[in-house]
Structure formats: structure tokens, C-alpha cells
């Protein structure tokens, strides 16, 4: 006898309302367990929602552009006993939280683990207590911590230097370029402050690249020294598991992709998978050097005249900031209804007010549907979504695809070690970062959202300490996000949108930087600081800041959330004056009705 089953969105971490960017099913389709139903796009990555049961689709309840979160019903299917469906296959709807929930979201796993292959009996080149596969921030942090705790540690990395995407071709080089862009932008306003003879800034792309390279070299060189000082053995190459105690390494050279033909085998007692993620490619984009991901954009080969940024999230907008400052005409296309998804709209509006005029076109509710490369440029066609008008096609000298990243879990042979990896490449772990195989841990991008280096570092510390026999769990109340644009946008803990979506009762306090002496003196008083408090306990549950150096300021909000501070704790803390950080204490005073730096508040 058939039955109707609801297919719901599983736990997707610190995201309450995520836009649907693709729908794979329609009524009448047959779906199997773990088939992708829809794709969601957060500020840092895309994620597929898998089917939790098998059957025939009877009704699809979402469409392109809808915002959905955990527990939302995507579709109803008709299943029979022969489809292998159990009565509890649909996920229960979430109930409103009473405390901030941990925001890291391991991906759901298949029902059964693969059987590990027969144990390796060949020769071994390297033997260790702990193997770390991947030398990014999470990987090298895990390796260094394990070595500090006395474990004989080996780290396998395909590139010639440690640091992974973040230090080599991601976070760090992008911030070096964003700093230069910020200085150039500041120069254009100095005449308003009385510096009238200053000539306009001129750019040497070659020197910009040299500066970026020096920054990267200094940091990666420091990591090499720390690894040597800790006696961490580095093995360069592409690592794939042979079984649950052996890893095969194909030695690489050059840019890290070329293999030399030499192979090494590492035997380990325990392992940490820290293999990260890679940029998502759009299948219709031509294989052309003018179509790049964030790594290609950071190479800064030249300054194109016209550039399309596909994806209005943090990575895309940071690169748009750099290239716009250098003189490139920028178009941005975003499938969702707003830029910088994940942040509260009031924060983003301040950024938009200062930045939308920099760009030629910002196309919201719009998707790219086709692209073609010829001698004149890369021609891209668009299509309006959610009832939006279809913009005219454009031709570009550079196209940056920044639509998120996909995990590398399926690229390291983890299944041969018995580790469960889902079809998207995510590896499920517990709160000690342990996989279903007791001696193998996993951390970073490939264990779930959010895909952030600072999350991976803390996960790496937990995994290393557990591997060394210590009692640790990964249970953060918040994981901060920062857009290093101008102005910067930063937030931590719960957002207003998340509170409203979950029914969480909260109070809000804001301190405008127009009342900050330091912000006014800096000539940058467009921002504000916002704090969210639980309506019953009065403890802080979230906060957001928009303005210069917001990413540096948000750390105090992070600590306050983790420590369970209430508004009085924060407001009674003496902050230095005049500073931007005192806006946090002043916002807390607003919550207490005790702020004397603003007009008197109306009594409630």
C-alpha cells in the first residue's frame, strides 16, 4: 500500500532562510534516497538538499527564489513498500531554539557505511602516529597542535607550501589587495579634509602583484619554520586512502597539480582529513582563460575594462571591490533577491548606499543561462527569475564565477578507508570531529557549513586533542562571518532574520556611528553597531557591525556570546575613548536604557 511522505530540508547549520537556486524535480519524477531535490545558495557555498526517501514525486512545494530553512517541506512523494521507505524517513520539523545552537552543520550521511578494502600489505615509506591530509589553516593547525601534544605527526599537502587555499590563493592575498583598494579609495577623499595638492593614485599592476606575493611568502615561510621547529614531517603530493591505516601519496611538483610519477605510502595510527573544498564551476561557461574563479581573479594578470561577477556573495563582492577600485567596469549578477545573503538587510543597506554607484549593473533575481567566448570577449546571456525582467546580454573581458565551493570529500578515496562520504562530498562527524571510522577524523569545509578558515582551525584543534587522548568537543555558540568590503560587514551569533524565522523572542539595541566621536573624526560615520539579546534572559545572542574595521570589532561580540554576557555586563565594561570598539558598549547601554551619548530614550 502506498503512502505520501514529506521530503524536508535537513539541518543546514547557521542558515534560517537560504534561497533556492535550482529545482531538480517535477511531479511524476522517480527519486531515490540521496537524490538531489533542490540546490540552495548561502553566502559562502551552495548545497544540495537530498531526498530522505524514495518514490514518485506527487507535489513540489518550492520554486526558484524561495527562501527555505531546516524543516521546510520541499516535496511530497508517493512511496510503496517496495521503494524501501520507512515510516520515519522524513525529517521532523525543527522547534524554536531556547539557546543559540551550534552553527557548524555536518552533512547528512548515507544509511550504511562502505566496507573497507583488504588491509594493505606492501612496503611503507613513512610511519607516524597521526596523519593530516591537507595543509590549509585547519590542517596545519591540527598538525601543529598534535605535535605539541607529543604525537609523531605527518602532514600531506599537494602544494610546495603550507597554508592551503586561504594563505596561498584565498583569504590572505585577497586582503592584501583589499587593503590597497581601501587606501586608494581614501586618497580620493583627502581633498575634503584639506589635502588639496595630492595627485591622484596611479596603479602599477606588477608592483601590486609583487606586494601580494611578498605577503603570502612571508606567511607561508613562517609556517614552514614552525613545522620544522615542531618536527612535523611534510610529504608533498596528492593523498588518497588505501585503507583505514595507509595513505598513498602521488608526489607533485610545480603548481601542485603535476605529478612526478613517484609514489609514497604513509602508515598511520590515526588520521585527520582536512582536504578542503574547490570553487564550483558553471557547466555552460566556456573553458576560456578569461573565465576565472576567485583564485584566477587574485592572480591579477591585468585590469580588464569590463568584468562580470557571477554571484553576489562575500567572495564576489570582495573581488568586485578590488577591480572596481582599479578602474574596471563591474556588472554583478545574483540569483537571489539581495546581495550578501546571510547578513541582515539593514547591515547590507549601508554597504549598498556606498557601493552600488561603483558598479555599472547589479542584476538581482537573475541567472546566467548561456555564455560564449570569442575574440571580442565572453558574451553572457541572462534570464530574470521570480518575475524579474530579463536584463540585456553583456560582453566582458573577464568573468568571475563566485557561486560557492564544493567539498573535496569524494576526491581522497575516503570510502576505501570505510569513511562515509555523501554524494556532495561531505563527511559526517560527531562533536569530537570523529568520522564513522574511530581512528579517522575530518575537519573544515568538507564536514559542513560554514566553509570558513577560522572554523576549520578550531575543529583542527579539537580533533588533534581528542587524537592525543584529551577530552574536547566542538560546540560553539557562534561562528562569525565578515565581508571585507568597504565598509566591512560583520556578524556573529543569531541574526534578526534567523530569530524571526525560528520564533525566537529578542530585543534589539543599535548605536549609530553618527554619534561616535572616532567615526566622525575618521570621516566614516556611515555605520552602526547592533546587538541582539534574548527577551527572557537578557543575554546576548547575536550582533552585527557595518563600518570600517567591522571585522576587527566583531571579536568582542563573539566573546560576549560565548561567555553568556548580558547587556549590563557589556555596558558596564569600560571601553577606551574615543574608539570604534566603544560603540559595542554604547549599544549595550542602549539596551539597558542608560546611554547618555544619544538623545533620551522613550520609556517603555
Tell me, what's the pLDDT at 189?
74
pLDDT at 93 over 80: no
Instruction: Give the tens place of pLDDT for each residue, 95-129.
Output: 333 344 444 444 444 334 444 445 788 999 999 99
**What mean pLDDT do residues 81-103 have?**
39
- The β-bridge partners of 78 are 4, 56
Q: How confident is the model at residue 14 (pLDDT cuts 50, 70, 90)?
A: low
Average pLDDT over the chain reads 88
3-state secondary structure of 559: helix
**What mean pLDDT do residues 555-568 have?**
97
Q: Which residue among 189, 470, 572, 577 is the active-site one? A: 577
Run of H or E including 324: helix 314-325
pLDDT at 207 over 80: yes
Alpha-helical (H) ranges within 487-549 are 496-502, 517-522
User: Is 312 marked as binding a ligand?
Assistant: yes
Q: How confident is the model at residue 590 (pLDDT cuts 50, 70, 90)?
A: very high
**Domain shared by 166 and 296, yes or no:** no
Q: How far apart, in whole angstroms, are the C-alpha atoms of residue 119 and residue 593?
A: 67
**Contact residues for 215 (Cβ-Cβ < 8 A; gap 6+):** 172, 173, 176
Q: Show the cell assigned to 562.
A: 560565548
**Domain shared by 354 and 366, yes or no:** yes
**Domain shared by 298 and 259, yes or no:** no
Residue 219, classified by CB atoms within 10 Å of its CB into exposed (0-12), middle (13-18) or buried (19+), is middle
- 309 contacts 319 by C-beta, under 8 angstroms: yes
**Domain shared by 135 and 245, yes or no:** yes
Q: How far apart, in whole angstroms, are the C-alpha atoms of residue 461 and residue 256?
A: 26
Q: How far apart, in whole angstroms, are the C-alpha atoms of residue 44 and residue 225?
A: 31
Q: In total, how many domains does the chain have?
A: 4
Q: How confident is the model at residue 86 (pLDDT cuts 50, 70, 90)?
A: very low
pLDDT at 588 over 90: yes
Of 403, 366, 425, the C-alpha closest to 283 is: 403
Of 502, 563, 501, 498, the C-alpha closest to 532 is: 498
Q: Say what the alpha-carbon torsion angle 413, 416, 105, 65 is, to the nearest 10 degrees.
A: 60
Q: Per the omega criterion (within 30 degrees of 0), is the bond before 291 cis?
A: no
Go through 9-42 and write b for each residue having 16 or more CB atoms within 10 A of its CB, e for each that does not.
Answer: bebbbbbbbbbbbebebeeebebebbbbbbbbbb
Q: Which residue do the cell numbers 554607484 mark?
A: 357
User: Is 316 marked as binding a ligand?
Assistant: yes
Instruction: Give the tens place of pLDDT for each residue, 465-509.
Output: 999 999 999 999 999 999 999 999 999 999 999 999 999 999 999
User: Is 239 marked as binding a ligand?
Assistant: yes
Chosen domain end from 79, 111, 145 = 79
User: Is 523 marked as binding a ligand?
Assistant: no
Helices and strands (DSSP H and E) totals, the chain: 13, 30
pLDDT at 169 over 80: no
Q: How confident is the model at residue 94 (pLDDT cuts 50, 70, 90)?
A: very low
In a domain, 90, yes or no: no
Of 522, 424, 590, 419, the C-alpha closest to 189 is: 522
User: Is 458 marked as binding a ligand?
Assistant: no
User: Is 225 marked as binding a ligand?
Assistant: no
User: Is 404 marked as binding a ligand?
Assistant: yes
| Cα angle, residue 281 at apex, residues 458 and 142 outer, rounded to 5° | 15
Query: What CATH number does the domain containing 57 carry?
Result: 2.40.50.100
CA distances for 337 relative to 313, 363, 457, 467, angstroms: 12, 9, 33, 44
Query: What CATH number does the domain containing 387 carry?
Result: 3.50.50.60
Q: How far apart, in whole angstroms, are the C-alpha atoms of residue 425 and residue 245?
A: 21
Supply the DSSP string of 378-416, one letter for each residue.
EEEEEEE-TTPPPPPPEEESEEEE-S-EEE-GGGTTGGG
Q: How far apart, in whole angstroms, are the C-alpha atoms of residue 597 and residue 520?
A: 14
pLDDT at 80 over 60: no
User: Is 185 marked as binding a ligand?
Assistant: no
**Contact residues for 445 (Cβ-Cβ < 8 A; gap 6+):** 45, 276, 277, 405, 407, 408, 451, 456
User: Is 445 marked as binding a ligand?
Assistant: yes
Q: How far apart, in whole angstroms, are the C-alpha atoms of residue 161 and residue 188?
A: 38
User: Is 315 marked as binding a ligand?
Assistant: yes
Query: What CATH number does the domain containing 529 carry?
Result: 3.30.390.30
In a domain, 419, yes or no: yes
Chosen domain end from 79, 108, 135 = 79
- 601 contacts 592 by C-beta, under 8 angstroms: no
User: Is 175 marked as binding a ligand?
Assistant: yes
Alpha-helical (H) ranges within 468-525 are 496-502, 517-522
In a domain, 118, yes or no: no
Q: Which residue do the cell numbers 610519477 mark?
A: 261
**Domain shared by 250 and 354, yes or no:** no
Characterize the bridge pairing of strands 377-384 and 361-363: unpaired
**Domain shared by 51 and 13, yes or no:** yes
In a domain, 114, yes or no: no
Q: How far apart, in whole angstroms, are the C-alpha atoms of residue 219 and residue 172?
A: 9
User: Is 226 marked as binding a ligand?
Assistant: no
Q: How confident is the model at residue 592 (pLDDT cuts 50, 70, 90)?
A: very high
In this prediction, what percent of the chain has a pLDDT beyond 90? 68
In a domain, 224, yes or no: yes
**Domain shared by 152 and 301, yes or no:** no
Q: How confident is the model at residue 70 (pLDDT cuts 50, 70, 90)?
A: confident
Q: How confident is the model at residue 172 (pLDDT cuts 50, 70, 90)?
A: confident
Residue 595, classified by CB atoms within 10 Å of its CB into exposed (0-12), middle (13-18) or buried (19+), is buried
| Overall size of the chain counted in residues | 604
Supply the DSSP string of 215-257, one letter for each residue.
HHHHHHHHHHHHHHHTT-EEEESEEEEEETTEEEEEEEETTTT
Chosen domain end from 382, 403, 424 = 403
CA distances for 124 relative to 231, 238, 441, angstroms: 20, 16, 22
Of 500, 497, 519, 505, the C-alpha closest to 579 is: 519
**What mean pLDDT do residues 532-549 have?**
96
In a domain, 364, yes or no: yes
Q: How far apart, in whole angstroms, are the C-alpha atoms of residue 480 and residue 466?
A: 24
Q: Which domain holds residue 364?
A: 291-403
**Domain shared by 187 and 214, yes or no:** yes
Q: How far apart, in whole angstroms, are the C-alpha atoms of residue 25 and residue 290?
A: 33
| Cα angle, residue 590 at apex, residues 478 and 583 outer, rounded to 5° | 65
Q: Which residue do the cell numbers 608592483 mark?
A: 207
Q: How far apart, in whole angstroms, are the C-alpha atoms of residue 111 and residue 103?
A: 24
Tell me, what's the pLDDT at 69?
87
**Domain shared by 399 and 414, yes or no:** no
pLDDT at 91 over 60: no
Q: How far apart, in whole angstroms, are the C-alpha atoms of residue 560 and residue 528?
A: 18
User: Is 317 marked as binding a ligand?
Assistant: yes
**Domain shared by 301 and 377, yes or no:** yes
Q: How far apart, in whole angstroms, are the C-alpha atoms of residue 530 and residue 259?
A: 51
577 is a catalytic site residue: yes
Q: How confident is the model at residue 45 (pLDDT cuts 50, 70, 90)?
A: low
Instruction: Give the tens place of pLDDT for each residue, 212-254.
Output: 888 888 888 888 889 999 999 999 999 999 999 999 999 998 8
**Domain shared by 137 and 246, yes or no:** yes
Q: How far apart, in whole angstroms, are the C-alpha atoms of residue 128 and residue 146?
A: 12
Q: How far apart, in whole angstroms, are the C-alpha atoms of residue 348 and residue 343?
A: 7
Of 71, 14, 10, the C-alpha closest to 45 is: 14
In a domain, 579, yes or no: yes
In a domain, 371, yes or no: yes
**Domain shared by 399 and 411, yes or no:** no
**What mean pLDDT do residues 564-588 have?**
97
Amino acid at each position: 500500500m502506498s503512502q505520501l511522505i514529506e521530503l524536508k530540508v535537513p539541518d543546514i547549520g547557521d542558515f534560517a532562510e537560504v534561497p533556492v537556486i535550482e529545482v531538480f524535480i517535477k511531479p511524476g519524477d522517480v527519486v531515490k534516497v540521496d537524490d538531489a531535490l533542490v540546490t540552495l545558495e548561502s553566502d559562502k557555498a551552495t548545497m544540495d538538499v537530498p531526498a530522505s526517501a524514495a518514490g514518485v514525486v506527487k507535489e513540489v512545494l518550492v520554486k526558484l527564489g524561495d527562501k527555505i530553512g531546516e524543516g521546510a517541506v520541499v516535496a511530497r512523494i508517493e512511496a510503496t513498500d517496495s521503494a524501501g521507505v520507512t515510516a520515519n524517513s522524513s525529517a521532523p520539523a525543527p522547534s524554536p531554539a531556547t539557546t543559540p545552537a551550534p552553527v557548524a552543520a555536518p552533512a547528512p550521511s548515507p544509511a550504511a557505511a562502505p566496507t573497507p578494502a583488504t588491509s594493505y600489505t606492501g612496503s611503507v615509506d613513512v610511519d607516524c602516529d597521526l596523519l593530516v591530509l591537507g595543509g590549509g589553516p585547519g590542517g596545519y593547525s591540527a598538525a601543529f597542535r598534535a605535535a605539541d601534544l607529543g604525537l609523531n605527526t605527518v602532514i600531506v599537502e599537494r602544494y610546495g607550501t603550507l597554508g592551503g587555499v586561504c594563505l596561498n590563493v584565498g583569504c590572505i592575498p585577497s586582503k592584501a589587495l583589499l587593503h590597497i583598494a581601501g587606501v586608494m579609495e581614501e586618497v580620493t577623499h583627502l581633498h575634503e579634509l584639506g589635502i588639496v595638492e595630492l595627485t591622484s593614485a596611479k596603479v602599477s599592476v606588477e608592483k601590486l602583484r609583487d606586494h601580494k606575493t611578498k605577503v603570502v611568502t612571508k606567511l607561508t615561510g613562517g609556517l614552514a619554520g614552525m613545522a620544522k621547529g615542531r618536527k612535523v614531517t611534510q610529504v608533498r603530493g596528492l593523498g588518497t586512502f588505501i585503507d583505514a591505516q595507509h595513505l598513498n601519496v602521488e608526489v607533485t611538483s610545480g603548481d601542485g597539480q603535476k605529478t612526478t610519477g613517484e609514489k609514497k605510502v604513509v602508515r598511520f595510527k590515526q588520521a585527520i582529513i582536512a582536504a578542503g573544498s574547490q570553487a564550483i564551476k558553471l557547466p555552460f561557461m566556456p573553458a576560456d582563460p578569461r573565465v576565472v574563479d576567485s583564485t584566477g581573479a587574485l592572480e591579477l594578470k591585468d585590469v580588464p575594462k569590463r568584468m562580470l561577477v557571477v554571484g553576489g556573495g562575500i567572495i564576489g563582492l570582495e573581488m568586485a571591490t578590488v577591480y572596481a577600485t582599479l578602474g574596471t567596469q563591474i556588472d554583478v549578477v545574483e540569483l537571489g533577491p539581495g546581495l550578501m545573503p546571510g547578513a541582515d538587510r539593514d547591515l547590507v543597506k549601508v554597504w549598498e548606499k556606498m557601493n552600488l554607484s561603483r558598479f555599472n549593473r547589479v542584476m538581482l533575481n537573475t541567472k546566467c543561462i548561456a555564455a560564449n567566448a570569442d575574440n571580442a570577449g565572453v558574451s553572457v546571456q541572462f534570464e530574470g527569475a521570480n518575475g524579474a525582467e530579463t536584463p540585456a546580454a553583456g560582453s566582458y573581458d573577464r568573468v568571475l564565477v563566485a557561486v560557492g565551493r564544493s567539498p573535496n570529500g569524494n576526491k581522497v578515496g575516503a570510502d576505501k578507508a570505510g569513511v562515509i562520504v555523501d554524494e556532495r562530498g561531505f563527511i559526517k562527524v560527531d562533536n569530537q570531529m570523529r568520522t564513522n571510522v574511530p581512528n579517522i577524523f575530518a575537519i573544515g569545509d568538507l564536514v559542513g557549513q560554514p566553509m570558513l578558515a577560522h572554523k576549520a582551525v578550531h575543529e583542527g584543534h579539537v580533533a588533534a586533542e581528542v587524537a592525543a587522548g584529551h577530552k574536547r568537543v566542538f560546540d560553539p555558540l557562534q561562528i562569525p562571518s565578515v565581508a571585507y568590503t568597504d565598509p566591512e560587514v560583520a556578524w556573529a551569533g543569531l541574526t534578526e532574520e534567523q530569530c524571526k524565522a525560528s520564533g525566537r523572542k529578542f530585543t534589539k539595541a543599535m548605536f549609530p556611528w553618527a554619534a561616535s566621536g572616532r567615526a566622525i573624526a575618521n570621516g566614516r560615520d556611515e555605520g552602526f553597531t547592533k546587538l541582539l539579546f534574548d527577551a527572557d534572559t537578557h543575554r546576548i545572542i547575536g550582533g552585527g557591525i557595518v563600518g570600517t574595521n567591522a571585522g576587527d570589532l566583531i571579536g568582542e561580540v563573539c566573546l560576549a556570546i560565548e561567555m553568556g554576557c548580558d547587556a549590563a555586563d557589556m555596558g558596564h565594561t569600560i571601553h577606551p575613548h574615543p574608539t570604534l570598539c566603544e560603540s559595542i558598549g554604547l549599544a549595550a547601554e542602549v539596551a539597558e536604557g542608560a546611554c547618555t551619548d544619544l538623545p533620551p530614550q522613550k520609556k517603555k
